[in-house]
């Protein structure tokens, strides 16, 4: 009877396995070498977000504007723009300006959504001071996948705003710009409600937070002079440089807001507040019903429901129960 010798098949099998592993490693090596280093990737993604913010329409983003937004030299900016084009996140010529590709826009939206969710988490769950969350959220956003962002969104209850007043977009949605107008353009006597406080530059934002400038706070413009204005928050009076006032967006504070469903047909109103929370609230924001936005009641269905409104030039039909969650202040004609 022949004896079974394991060496007759073990070493050939090991040799085949090693060959397979070597081929796999060689195929993976070029891909690994092409992947940017972590610090370089963060730099690229930060540049991508700034291009996304500047490109509100089809206008190409030029190096000068991007350099001012990022606070770096134009020469360095041009190098980063070339990297975005090479990576497939942008297209165009650096000298004439670049536009984001579909892939670039999608990645920018993922980063902004992750950043704002992390800011909400850091304030609500970790109790981090408002003026400290931006830097930490910027660190965490780059390693977050869309699936992880969805999990964090669900854990937080699908919040509609981050702590600075920026809208947290749903996955795949464009991040809308702040509503309202900069505080710098308001006139003495205006009573306003703060909607958004820009968190960059960090030193200026920290100063505004200490002074009491936060979303939801009501302010009164007392005096406006070249270079600065004086505003009142509660019983405190502050002198604010115009450059700082441009970082704060506000809308008129309604004296007695009413539900949107009670707005007479043909009347215009300004959105004062979006009640509720979670996905329902975010759906209202996606429709353009953000604080400071203007809405007009067009017509009511024969049975009184739904009601048709015009928001930002678009007509939408809304159930009365949904319209009850939107508080508005009527705008008088004339």
Tell me the pLDDT tens digit for each residue of 241-285: 998 999 999 887 766 678 888 888 888 888 888 887 777 788 888
**Domain 38-100 belongs to what topology?**
Arc Repressor Mutant, subunit A (1.10.10)
Q: Where along the chain do its domains lie?
A: 38-100, 181-252, 258-331
**Cα of 47 vs its chain's centroid, Å:** 15
Same fold, 181-252 and 258-331: yes
What is this structure's pTM?
0.69
**Domain 258-331 belongs to what topology?**
SH3 type barrels. (2.30.30)
Write down the H helix ranges in the chain: 7-34, 38-54, 63-70, 74-87, 102-124, 133-141, 146-155, 202-211, 242-245, 278-286, 320-323
User: For residue range 201-233, what is the model confidence (pLDDT) as tens digits?
Assistant: 888 888 898 899 988 888 999 998 888 899 999
Span 39-61, average pLDDT? 85
Mean pLDDT of the chain: 83
pLDDT reported for residue 30:
36
Distance, in Å, from the CA atom of 262 to the CA atom of 256, rounded to the nearest integer, reads: 13
pLDDT reported for residue 28:
44
CATH number 2.30.30.90 is the correct assignment for the domain at 181-252: yes
User: For residue range 19-43, what is the model confidence (pLDDT) as tens digits?
Assistant: 555 555 444 433 333 344 567 888 8
User: For residue range 278-328, what is the model confidence (pLDDT) as tens digits?
Assistant: 777 888 888 888 888 889 988 887 777 889 999 888 888 888 888 888 888
Q: What is the DSSP letter of 163?
A: T
């Amino acid at each position: 009877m022949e004896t079974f010798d394991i060496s007759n098949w073990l070493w050939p099998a090991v040799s085949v396995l090693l060959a397979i592993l070597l081929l796999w490693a060689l195929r993976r090596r070029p891909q690994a070498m092409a992947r940017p280093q972590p610090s370089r990737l963060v730099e690229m993604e930060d540049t991508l977000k700034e291009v996304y913010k500047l490109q509100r329409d089809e206008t190409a983003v030029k190096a000068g504007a991007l350099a001012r937004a990022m606070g770096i030299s134009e020469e360095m900016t041009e190098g980063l723009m070339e990297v975005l084009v090479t990576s497939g996140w942008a297209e165009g010529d650096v000298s004439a300006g670049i536009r984001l590709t579909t892939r670039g826009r999608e990645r920018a939206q993922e980063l902004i959504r992750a950043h704002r969710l992390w800011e909400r988490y850091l304030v609500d769950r970790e109790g981090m001071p408002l003026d400290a969350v931006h830097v930490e959220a910027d660190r965490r956003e780059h390693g977050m996948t869309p699936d992880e962002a969805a999990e964090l969104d669900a854990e937080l209850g699908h919040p509609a705003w981050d702590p600075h007043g920026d809208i947290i977009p749903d996955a795949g949605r464009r991040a809308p710009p702040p509503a309202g107008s900069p505080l710098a353009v308001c006139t003495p006597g205006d009573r306003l409600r703060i909607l958004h406080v820009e968190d960059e530059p960090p030193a200026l934002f920290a100063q505004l937070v200490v002074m009491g400038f936060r979303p939801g706070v009501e302010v009164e413009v007392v005096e406006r002079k070249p270079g600065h204005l004086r505003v009142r928050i509660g019983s405190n009076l502050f002198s604010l440089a115009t450059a700082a006032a441009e970082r704060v967006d506000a809308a008129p504070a309604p004296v007695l807001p009413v539900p949107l469903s009670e707005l007479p047909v043909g009347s215009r109103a300004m959105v004062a507040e979006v009640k509720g929370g979670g996905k329902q609230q975010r759906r209202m924001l996606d429709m353009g019903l953000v604080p400071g936005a203007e809405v007009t009641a067009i017509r009511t269905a024969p049975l009184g429901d739904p009601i048709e409104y015009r928001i930002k030039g678009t007509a939408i039909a809304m159930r009365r129960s949904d319209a009850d969650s939107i508080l508005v202040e009527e705008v008088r004609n004339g």
